[in-house]
């Protein structure tokens, strides 16, 4: 036989232009496949990535849990084995108040958060026959870290398994979009553990660091639970300096402390110094000035400060030091700590620009004061 004239390509793929049923099948099969099974294929591909992150989250949760248990067992000599009790703490949940009628919700949230804090502190205390305040606050913060990592892992797992169970690709899309942000937060939490164990200042402590420096050589008085204030003078103005009590791992109670100080000492101006989350592209440690109550958290402290300032018509000024989520909760970086002097000079400038001699200025250093005394 003579095969010299046989064109293999033309025979099987119809390159000659004639219609070829085999070629049609090759082109139509993927189209049919993607029309009916496209979402399932995407679900399989996305699932693989999510599973990897979920495994990481589980690892973070397990590592942080083990680190906390080891820390409590080895450094703090608890009464008996604390593992079971700590495991119960990690699963603690908070049911937020009904918000269908939001009127009066702030005092309810405030009450809930305080009750939770007080109960956790009591429970931590009860695990030891002898423990100092610094260690209690450190364990409380570490508990929060592990509980948050556990919650993140559970929520991600729930969303993922629900989408898989329903074979529902659109259901997995929000998770796929949110996961990088969740992982960023989880990595930050995991990296925060060493600083909390060693009692080192974290990025969020820049406000207490500035005000703590201004409080040196003044008489410290108790303003509220784990919150101190002192009086000082600058350029003919009376300064009231307020911060959480360091070097404990606490943010204190700035809301209640401001309320009582304003009622008692009637300041003319309030200046708040805090760490703020930087936007992508902004430099870490950059300092910015503005107006309003610079304080994070669930919102109850900010509400109290805004309410009391409004009641007495006191202007609130803010100075913030910008940083990332990770920088805010891990060991303070050199870039951020180097800004302390700059912020202090900006505070003094703000005082002279916005108050007159013989007036009173309340300066609040907001943030976790771990590793920063006064």
Partner 1 sequence: MSNKNEIITAYTLQQCNSCKEQSKQKFSDGDYVFKEISKCSSCDGQVMITKIFGESLTQ
Q: Does 292 bind partner 1 (CB under 8 A)?
A: no
Minimum Å distance from CB 192 to partner 1?
A: 12
Q: Does 198 bind partner 1 (CB under 8 A)?
A: yes
CA-based nearest residue to 268, from 359, 167, 198: 359
Nearer to partner 1, 318 or 336 (CB): 336
- CA distance readout (Å), 275 to 126, 316, 318: 33, 16, 10
Q: Which of residues 157-196 bind partner 1 (CB under 8 A)?
A: 183-184, 187
Q: How far apart are CA 122 and CA 252, in angstroms?
A: 17
- Residue 89 has which token pair? 């703490």
Nearer to partner 1, 141 or 374 (CB): 374
Q: How many residues bind partner 1, per CB under 8 A?
A: 26
* SS3 state of residue 335: helix
Q: Which of residues 297-336 bind partner 1 (CB under 8 A)?
A: 330-334, 336
Q: Which of residues 215-234 bind partner 1 (CB under 8 A)?
A: 216
**Interacting residue with partner 1 among 213, 292, 296, 299 (CB under 8 A):** 213
Rg (CA), the chain: 29
Nearer to partner 1, 205 or 255 (CB): 205
Element (H, E) at 318: strand 316-323
Write down the residue that tokens 């929000």 correspond to. Answer: 174
**Which residues 6+ apart lie within 8 Å of 170 measured at CB?**
39
**Interacting residue with partner 1 among 78, 82, 212, 254 (CB under 8 A):** 212
Q: Does 340 bind partner 1 (CB under 8 A)?
A: yes
CA-based nearest residue to 309, from 347, 356, 271: 271
The site for partner 1 (CB under 8 A) is made up of 183-184, 187, 198-201, 209, 212-213, 216, 246-247, 330-334, 336-338, 340, 371-374
């Amino acid at each position: 036989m003579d095969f010299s004239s046989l064109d293999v390509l033309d025979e099987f793929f119809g390159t000659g232009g004639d219609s070829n049923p085999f070629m049609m099948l090759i082109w139509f099969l993927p189209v049919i496949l993607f029309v009916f099974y496209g979402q399932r294929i995407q679900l399989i591909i996305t699932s693989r990535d999510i599973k990897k992150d979920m495994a990481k989250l589980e690892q973070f949760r397990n590592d942080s849990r083990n680190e906390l248990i080891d820390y409590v067992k080895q450094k703090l000599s608890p009464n008996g084995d604390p593992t079971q009790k700590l495991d119960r703490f990690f699963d603690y949940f908070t049911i937020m108040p009904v918000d269908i009628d939001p009127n009066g919700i702030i005092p309810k949230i405030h009450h809930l958060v305080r009750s939770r804090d007080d109960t956790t502190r009591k429970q931590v205390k009860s695990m030891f026959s002898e423990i100092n305040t610094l260690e209690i606050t450190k364990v409380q913060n570490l508990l929060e870290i592990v509980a948050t990592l556990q919650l993140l892992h559970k929520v991600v797992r729930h969303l993922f398994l629900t989408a898989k169970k329903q074979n529902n690709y659109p259901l997995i899309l929000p998770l796929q979009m949110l996961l990088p942000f969740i992982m960023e937060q989880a990595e930050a939490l995991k990296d925060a553990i060493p600083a909390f164990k060693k009692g080192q200042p974290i990025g969020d402590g820049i406000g207490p660091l500035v005000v703590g420096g201004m409080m040196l050589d003044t008489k410290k008085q108790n303003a509220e639970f784990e919150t101190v204030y002192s009086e000082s003078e600058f350029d003919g103005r009376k300064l009231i300096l307020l911060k959480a009590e360091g070097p404990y791992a606490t943010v204190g109670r700035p809301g209640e402390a401001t309320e009582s100080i304003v009622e008692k000492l009637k300041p003319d101006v309030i200046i708040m110094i805090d760490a703020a989350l930087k936007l992508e592209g902004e430099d870490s440690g950059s300092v910015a000035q503005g107006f309003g109550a610079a304080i994070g958290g669930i919102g109850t402290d900010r509400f109290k400060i805004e309410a009391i300032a409004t009641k007495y018509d006191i202007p609130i000024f803010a100075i913030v030091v910008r940083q990332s989520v990770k920088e805010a909760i891990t060991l303070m970086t050199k870039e951020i700590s180097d800004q302390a002097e700059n912020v202090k000079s900006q505070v003094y400038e703000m005082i002279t620009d916005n108050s007159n001699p013989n007036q009173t200025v309340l300066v609040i250093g907001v943030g976790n004061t771990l590793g920063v005394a006064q």
